[in-house]
Structure 1
Amino acid sequence: MKRAVVIALLAVCIRLPFLASGPGGWDDVDFVLGMKQYDLTAMQPHFPGYPVYMVFAFAVGQVIKNPYVALSALSALASALTVLPLYCIVHAYSNRRMATAVALLWAVAPLSVVLGTQPLSDSFGTLLAVLLVASSMCVLDRGRTERSRALYLIVSGICLGLLYGVRVSYLAFCAVPLWAAIMYGKDTRRWSDIVCAILCVFLISFGWTYAMAVNVGSVHGLWQMALAFTGGHFSDWGGTYTGDNAIERLGYWLGRQWLAAGLGTPWAGQHWISWSIAGLFMLSIWGWSVRCKRREIQVRKRGRAFVLLLMWGVPYGVWAFFAQNVDKPRHILPLLILLLWLVASGLLAFRHAGKYMLAALICCTLAVSWTQVREQSESLSPTVQLAKYTASHLPASAVVYTYEEERIIRYLHPEVETVRLRKWEDFQTSVFSRRLSTDSVFLTSSVLEGFKRPQIWRYVRERARFTGNPWLYPTYHDIILYEILPEQKADWVRFLQN
């Protein structure tokens, strides 16, 4: 366990110099506004409010006054502490060498490092998810006393209830303690312990749900907000990748999220060392074929434990693929450990040479991670660039029609008039009700693309473009601000009226 503590300290040291001190996207601003005045109706933060995460954020905010640094420090601490339960899980399934390898890879993996420096809830949620798996693993351990197993079952229930208070989208993780509870009941017939664990989940979930209802004003109001948010979140446009078919989507999901973002293989905006990581990844696949030939993989002897890993990866993996924005790698962070574990296992199949391969992989991933977080700390995100440009280069009468960029512009420069839109009809109503001249109308690319009206492009021209690393800013790495063509003023008005 001393190794795990040392690696956790190393993980903190890697992340602390690069903590975000300002906004990068609209989620950042939501959390910061929530720290200043928690108000779910004002999307501070947005539904479902992340109550458990925000409680810890408030606590850190009492020590660190800059809310961005406070949230980022919480992410760094959570990301580093994840090493401890991670090490215990891998060590229980394999050996100390494997546990050390996976822990080191987690400490330096690009997705883990980048999210461990951002003011988002993903690193904190991953810590709770891994704690949930670790406690459920202890429930399966027949070498423990029934009392000890029952205690860990209760801990699993508590972790699950807290996990839902961080992100409701972690719902699929209930499969992990459910499997552990079924096996525990089969071994002991102490069903009352299982009932107690279920009660823990419901009581904790009820506690933060009730707090959200109080904040909104009523249970009905919370329910209506849930319907409104989830409907728009999953059905409206706004940057979500949509491929031609499931196979194309799967290829993008695996290549973009798992390999490029998670492990550091080549992708747009990635360091050239990524090619070395790709080569080592291919060697790890070869290593697994070697393990199979040696018949080193014996699932039957540890069937229950193997199923627990499946409960960890499969249900949430299916949810992340079908129900989450495939453009955003952060959704697969709780599953990254499984990928790192597989890669480490494949490389260590080469025995003596495997140690050097693993060391090379750790160095390469650290180099890629360092370049990413350094760029993130030294450059402005495209949305922040847009906000600064609108404040300094547009006329006083300008109205900027945006989508999610609106949150950042309003936060940084409230003097700029912005309108967040989803529908063409709303745009028409807004322009005519305000009696805007064509010189005052500006639209971002996300708005124009969301209208899905090809004929609109003949009336506009590019005013400014703001770009960033597509790895760091997946949905808003290329933002274009448009204005109405001067020679199309008359035709533009007629076009709006149709």
Structure 2
Amino acid sequence: MLILLQLAWLGWLLAFPAALDSDDALNFAHGVTRFSVLEFSPHFPGYPAFIWLARLINLAVDDPARAVQWASLLGSSLLAPLAALLAVKLWQRPSLLAPVWLLVLALPLTPTLALSGLSDGPALAAWLGTLLALQQRRITLAGLLLGLLLALRPSYFVLALLPLWLGMAQKGTRVRFVFPIALVGLISLLFVWQADGWAYFSEGRRFTDGHFTLWGNTAAAHGDRLLSWARTFNDQLTPLWPLAVGALLVLPLWQRSKNHPAALPPLWTLYWLALLLWTLFGQNPDNPRHLAPITLLGIVLLAGWLPRCGEKLATVTGLLLLGATFTLPRPPAMMQAAKLAEKACPALVTQWGVRLLRETTTLPVTDGWYQGDAALALSQGACRLSRRPITASEMPTAVDQHWFAPRFAAEPGLWLAIPDPPARQN
């Protein structure tokens, strides 16, 4: 039954048009044909294992855009079964397989990751696979998967903390654990070195500084972004998310007081807290996909609290949520907006998908990050594309705004503001 639902979910996503909807996804597509972080193909840190996977798929499809999307889809399709198997192994309860599988499959984050054309899905699959392999004492496989995790998405180094701890704690098998990690790391280093040499490290320093201080929009540099995270949590996890966070914090104490037969050590809760802090302060709340690690691990850890009498109810809930997730296949909001903009706009100002729009449309596109250039373009009649409604103070000439709904709840929608004709003539 679960396998059939998984195949139906996969077939549903394959029915969506293959289309890139972000600059990052476009950068990966460029990296399939020519890898260089200096040319943002892709951007730092390069994600070598994801490029290898996409290039392998590209041998069959001969379309870099489709290759990176299928690479994301392949990795994301493993998230639900791996999370379910990990919950079963951790809690020693085979009856958790169906509810956890269905809940992960029904998350709006899961199809968002699958069609993003980004490395999040495959990296998360490698992460869950590493934790599962460690629970099964398959040390060499765990080391290989951990190495691939870091090569798929090096910014997930925080996710590697617990697997590294658990793997190094296995006396007598440390060499079998460390060797595949070092091997994958060396191959990745040689791969990026042959493309950019020493300049790779200079670009890394520049990009990291920019992420935390300029364009990254993280709470590490902008404290008010923590409030944005609260809104993101509310949108993706319902306003009841503080209850789940509180439950995760008291989980070890509850297990000890009840002498839970499958009680997890407090290390797991500390690990989840580390991921939460990294997400809050090191990631951009405008992208809900950054919630995926703490959401997946939270579901696995909270599954142990699920009473046996509630497992069937959780399974039915998962089926209902999965049914609500299914929508009619359509292009991403970015492609819908670009199609209208080409018909209705002489030029475009935006901070989202600038490179993508420049390469896929015939419109002059101004980066809204540069306020002077944006103001000049708007004064000459350009349209404005944004993730929120455009106010009169931002664009006094706007007379018509179009809303482009996202495909899934974890994707951003877009607003296109079109000025009146006299403003365009000026």
Cα distance in 1 for residues equivalent to 2:421 and 2:213: 32
Conservation of the 8 A alpha-carbon contact between 1:344 and 1:358: no
Return the alpha-carbon distance in structure 2 between the equivalents of residues 112 and 87 of structure 1. 14
Q: Which residue of 1 aligns with 2:31?
A: 34
Deviation digits for residues 269-315 of structure 1, max 9, x if unmatched?
Answer: xxxxxxxxx89x999x99x99x999988536x666x53453365232
Q: Tell me the secondary structure at the aligned position of residue 152 of structure 2.
A: coil
Deviation string, structure 1 residues 191-230 (Cα, Å, up to 9, x no partner): xx425533432332232133123222x22x1122222322
Structure (1/2) with the larger helix percentage: 1
- Structure 1 472/124 Cα, relative in aligned 2: closer, same or farther at 3 Å? same
Q: Report the TM-score, using the length of structure 1 for normalisation.
A: 0.70
| Whole-angstrom CA distance in 2 between matches of 1:38 and 1:380 | 26
1:233-312 matches, within 5 Å, as: 233-237=211-215, 244=224, 246=226, 248=227, 251-257=230-236, 259-260=237-238, 297-298=258-259, 305-307=264-266, 309-310=268-269, 312=271
Structure 1 range deviating more: 174-183 or 80-89: 80-89
Structure with higher Rg: it is: 1
Q: What is the rounded CA distance, in whole Å, between the counterparts of 1:293 and 1:334 in structure 2?
A: 24
Q: 3-state DSSP class of the match of 1:27?
A: helix
Q: Does the 8 Å CA contact 1:324/1:331 hold for their aligned counterparts?
A: yes
Structure 2 Cα separation of the partners of residues 183 and 294 of structure 1: 23
Q: Which amino acid aligns with 2:351?
A: Y
Could you tell me how far 1:250 is from its partner in structure 2? 5.7
- The match for 1:412 is 360
Which amino acid is the alignment partner of residue 320 of structure 1? T
Q: Residues 56 and 153 from structure 1, CA distance in 2 versus in 1: closer, same or farther, beyond 3 angstroms?
A: same
Report the Cα distance in structure 1 between the residues aligned to 2:420 and 2:202, rounded to whole angstroms.
Answer: 38
Q: Distance in 2 between matches of 1:360 and 1:473?
A: 21
The CA RMSD over aligned residues, in Å, is: 4.2
* Contact 1:52/1:208 (<8 A) preserved: yes
Q: Look up the match of 1:163.
A: 149
Q: Secondary structure at the match of 1:231?
A: helix
177, 183, 208: which one aligns with 2:169: 183
- Residue in 1 that maps onto 2:281: 322
Amino acid at match of 1:42: E
Displacement of 1:458 after TM fit? 7.2
* Cα displacement string for residues 317-353 of structure 1 (whole angstroms, at most 9, x for unaligned residues): 221121111232212223333333355444x41x44x
| Deviations, residues 455-488 of structure 1 (Å, cap 9, x unaligned) | x947742265342336848685233446699689
Match of 1:123 among 95, 106, 121: 121
Q: 1:364 aligns with which of 309, 320, 338?
A: 320
Q: Which amino acid aligns with 1:197?
A: F
Residue among 389, 392, 405 paired with 1:469: 405
Could you tell me how far apart the structure 1 residues matched to 2:417 and 2:217 are?
Answer: 16
Corresponding residue for residue 385 of structure 1 = 336
| Contact 1:439-1:484 at 8 Å conserved across structures | no
Deviations 1:411-460 (CA, angstroms, capped at 9, x unpaired): 211x32223353446668xx6xxxx89536555458999xxxx9x94774
**Is the Cα–Cα contact under 8 Å of residues 389 and 415 in structure 2 kept in the other structure?**
no
Instruction: Give distance in 2, aligned partners of 1:421 and 1:458.
Output: 12
C-alpha offsets along residues 63-93 of structure 1, whole Å, 9 cap, x if unaligned? 2344444433333332333444434322222
Alignment CA distance shift 1:488-1:342 (3 Å): same
Shift of 1:53: 1.1
Do the aligned partners of residues 314 and 407 (structure 1) sit closer, same or farther apart at CA in structure 2, a change above 3 Å counting? same
C-alpha distance in 2 between matches for 1:470 and 1:321: 24
Distance 1:213 1:461, change over 3 A: farther
User: 2:45–2:154: 8 Å Cα contact kept in structure 1?
Assistant: yes
Q: 1:233 offset after TM fit, Å?
A: 2.8
Name 1:110's counterpart in structure 2.
Answer: 108
Determine helix, strand or coil for the equivalent of 1:479: strand
- Show the counterpart of 1:174: 160
Deviations 1:161-198 (A, max 9, x none): 2111111221112222232135323xxxx3xx425533
Shift of 1:237: 4.5
Q: How does 1:186-265 map to 2 (within 5 A)?
A: 190=172, 193-195=173-175, 197-216=177-196, 218-219=197-198, 221-237=199-215, 244=224, 246=226, 248=227, 251-257=230-236, 259-260=237-238
Counterpart-to-counterpart distance in 2, 1:293 and 1:174: 27
Aligned length: 420
3-state SS of paired residue (2:401) = strand
Give CA-to-partner distance per residue, 1:243-288, whole Å, 9 cap, x none: 7485x4563353234x14xxxx8xxxxxxxxxxxx89x999x99x9
Report the AA paired with residue 364 of structure 2.
E
Aligned to 1:7: 2
What are the ranges of 5 or more consecutive residues in structure 2 without an aligned counterpart? none
| Range that drifts further, 337-346 or 111-120 | 337-346
Q: Quick one: distance in 1 between partners of 2:116 and 2:294?
A: 19
Counterpart-to-counterpart distance in 2, 1:164 and 1:179: 15
Quick check: 2:27–2:42 contact (8 Å CA) kept in 1? yes
For 2:157, give the aligned amino acid.
L
Q: Structure 1: how far apart are the matches of 2:324 and 2:378?
A: 48
Partner deviation per Cα, 1:364-400 (whole Å, 9 max, x = no partner): 21122113xx3xx32541x3234223433334xx4x4
Q: TM-score, normalised by structure 2?
A: 0.80
2:108, 2:325 within 8 Å by CA — same for their partners in 1? yes
**Quick one: percent identity of the two aligned structures?**
20
Q: Which structure 1 residue ranges, 5 or more long, are not aligned?
A: 1-5, 140-151, 266-277, 491-498
Query: AA paired with 2:147?
Result: G
* Deviation of 1:45 (Å): 2.2
Please tell me the residue identity of whatever aligns with 1:385: Q
The one-letter amino acid of 1:439's match is: Q
Q: Which amino acid is the alignment partner of residue 233 of structure 1?
A: H
* Alignment check: 8 A CA contact 2:144 2:181 kept: yes
- Tell me which amino acid in the other structure corresponds to 1:468: F
Change (3 A) 1:205 1:296: same
The answer as to whether partners of 2:28 and 2:42 remain within 8 angstroms in 1 is yes
Pairwise CA distance, 1:7: 2.8
Distance 1:483 1:363, change over 3 A: same
Which among 66, 74, 78 is matched to residue 75 of structure 2?
A: 78
Given that 1:108 and 1:369 are in contact with CA atoms closer than 8 Å, whether structure 2 keeps it comes out as yes
- Rounded Cα–Cα distance in structure 1 between residues aligned with 2:284 and 2:386: 19
